[in-house]
């Protein structure tokens, strides 16, 4: 029966079977740090919000053309990139005098989990790993995400960098984190779509680091440079 199937069209899982398995020595990994946006969740929602939806709302409020609005938002965003404030809803609500949380809710149906993430999280639970969500998103944004994707129950700990006081890509983040939670760098895995975050973790000697091939499902894949990238979470288990 399979030969008939192959003759007409490739079976639906051909793409997955063609992907290389990413070999990790799970016996040596005790703690798994997982980023949220762009890693477990499709970055499309966040990109769409900031690059498409916000410019429309900002243009309406300040009576600008759409291109003026985009230009202003991009330059304000670039000035803050990589800092905690860049990720902070309260900061932007105040600076732009707009209710960012409410606006985020308006398009929250776009929040999507990446394929096979829940199976991967179940696998980690079965393997008795210490599973930590480690995100630059503030708790308020996390709550919107968790209303749409049921992943909260998988984590042993949920840590927002806002609780640490530094963004994950800032120097000193990992030593501050280490003062608050117990883990061994040589037994830790971090999966994150942000290469700056991975590099800072690498400097702290986090032993296992993986990037994400296509953080936003509606944009082209990214070059993850020195890091191995996950195309599908099926590659991990
Ligand atoms: Mg991310």
Name the domain count of the chain. 2
The rounded Å distance from CA 126 to ligand 1 centre is 25
In the reported structure, the alpha carbon of residue 111 is separated from the centroid of ligand 1 by a whole-number distance in angstroms of 14
| Ligand 1 geometric centre to CA of 39 (Å) | 6
Distance CA 7, CA 130 (A): 45
Domain residues for the domain of 102 are 45-109
User: What pLDDT is stored for residue 170 in this prediction?
Assistant: 96
Cα of 194 vs centre of ligand 1, distance in Å, is: 6
Share of the chain above pLDDT 70, in %: 93
Residue 13 pLDDT greater than 60, yes or no: no
- The span from the CA of 34 to the CA of 105, in Å, is 24
Final residue of a domain: which of 60, 87, 109? 109
Q: Please give the distance, rounded to the nearest whole angstrom, from the Cα atom of residue 34 to the centre of ligand 1.
A: 9
Q: How confident is the model at residue 7 (pLDDT cuts 50, 70, 90)?
A: very low
Q: Distance, CA 165 to ligand 1 centroid (Å)? A: 17
What mean pLDDT is reported for the chain?
A: 93
The pLDDT value recorded for residue 17 is 54
Write down which residue in 74, 91, 109 finishes a domain: 109
Q: How far apart are CA 49 and CA 144, in angstroms?
A: 13
Per-residue pLDDT reduced to its tens digit, 69-82? 999 999 999 999 88
Q: What's the rounded mean pLDDT across residues 55-77?
A: 96
Could you tell me if 31 and 82 lie in one domain? Answer: no
Q: How far apart are the CA of 89 and the centre of ligand 1, in A?
A: 16
Q: Are residues 118 and 39 in the same domain?
A: yes
For residue range 206-217, what is the model confidence (pLDDT) as tens digits? Answer: 999 999 999 999
159, pLDDT greater than 50: yes
Expressed in angstroms and rounded, the spacing between residue 38 Cα and the centre of ligand 1 is: 4
Expressed in angstroms and rounded, the spacing between residue 207 Cα and the centre of ligand 1 is: 19
Look at residue 5 and tell me whether its pLDDT is greater than 60.
no
Is 59 in the same domain as 120? Answer: no
Residue that is last in its domain, among 85, 109, 133: 109
Q: 53 vs 57, 100, 140, 156, 190, CA distance in Å? A: 7, 11, 19, 34, 31
Q: How far is the CA of 37 from the centre of ligand 1 (A)?
A: 4
- Do 92 and 150 have their domain in common? no
Same-domain status, 175 and 186? yes
Q: Side-chain half-sphere of 77: how many Cα atoms within 13 Å?
A: 13
Same domain, residue pair 141 and 155: yes
The answer to whether residue 36 is domain-embedded is yes
Cα of 193 vs centre of ligand 1, distance in Å, is: 5
Ligand 1 centroid – CA 8 distance (Å):
39
pLDDT in tens, 94-123: 999 999 999 999 999 999 999 999 999 999
DSSP H helices in the chain = 2-8, 14-18, 44-48, 54-62, 66-80, 89-96, 100-106, 117-126, 139-148, 161-164, 173-180, 195-203
Whether residue 126 sits in one domain with residue 31: yes
Looking at the domain assignment, is residue 3 inside a domain? no
In a domain? residue 2: no
CA distance 72 to 54: 11
CA of 63 to the centre of ligand 1 (A): 32
Q: Quick one: pLDDT band at residue 163, thresholds 50, 70, 90?
A: very high
CATH number for the domain that contains residue 123: 3.40.50.1000
**What pLDDT score does 19 carry?**
84
Residue 6 lies in a domain: no
CA 136 to centroid of ligand 1, rounded, Å: 8
Residues 123 and 169 in one domain: yes
| Residues 157 and 89 reside in one and the same domain | no
Q: What is the pLDDT of residue 18?
A: 72
Is the pLDDT assigned to residue 92 strictly greater than 70? yes
pLDDT band at 3 (very low <50, low <70, confident <90, very high): very low
* Averaged pLDDT for residues 182-200: 98
128 and 80, same domain (yes or no): no
Q: Bridge-partner residues for 157, per DSSP? A: 132
Nearest CA to 120 among 151, 91, 98?
151
């Amino acid at each position: 029966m399979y030969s008939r199937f192959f003759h007409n069209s490739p079976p639906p899982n051909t793409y997955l079977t063609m992907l290389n398995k990413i070999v990790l020595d799970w016996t040596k990994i005790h703690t798994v740090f997982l980023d949220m946006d762009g890693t477990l969740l499709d970055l499309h929602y966040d990109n769409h919000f900031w690059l498409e939806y916000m410019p429309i709302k900002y243009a309406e409020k300040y009576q600008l053309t759409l291109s003026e609005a985009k230009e202003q938002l991009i330059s304000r965003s670039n000035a803050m990139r990589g800092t905690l404030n860049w990720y902070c809803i309260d900061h932007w609500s105040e600076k732009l005098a707009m209710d960012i949380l409410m606006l985020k809710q308006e398009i929250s149906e776009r929040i999507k989990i990446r394929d096979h993430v829940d199976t991967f999280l179940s696998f980690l639970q079965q393997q008795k790993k210490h599973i930590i969500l480690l995100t630059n998103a503030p708790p308020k944004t996390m709550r919107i995400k968790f209303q749409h994707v049921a992943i909260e129950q998988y984590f042993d700990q949920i840590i927002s960098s806002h609780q640490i006081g530094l963004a994950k890509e800032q120097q000193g983040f990992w030593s501050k984190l280490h003062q608050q939670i117990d883990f061994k760098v040589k037994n830790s895995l971090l999966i994150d779509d942000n290469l700056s975050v991975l590099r800072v973790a690498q400097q702290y000697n986090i032993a296992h680091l993986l990037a994400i091939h296509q953080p936003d499902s509606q944009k082209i894949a990214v070059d993850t440079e020195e890091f191995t990238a996950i195309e599908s979470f099926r590659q991990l288990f």
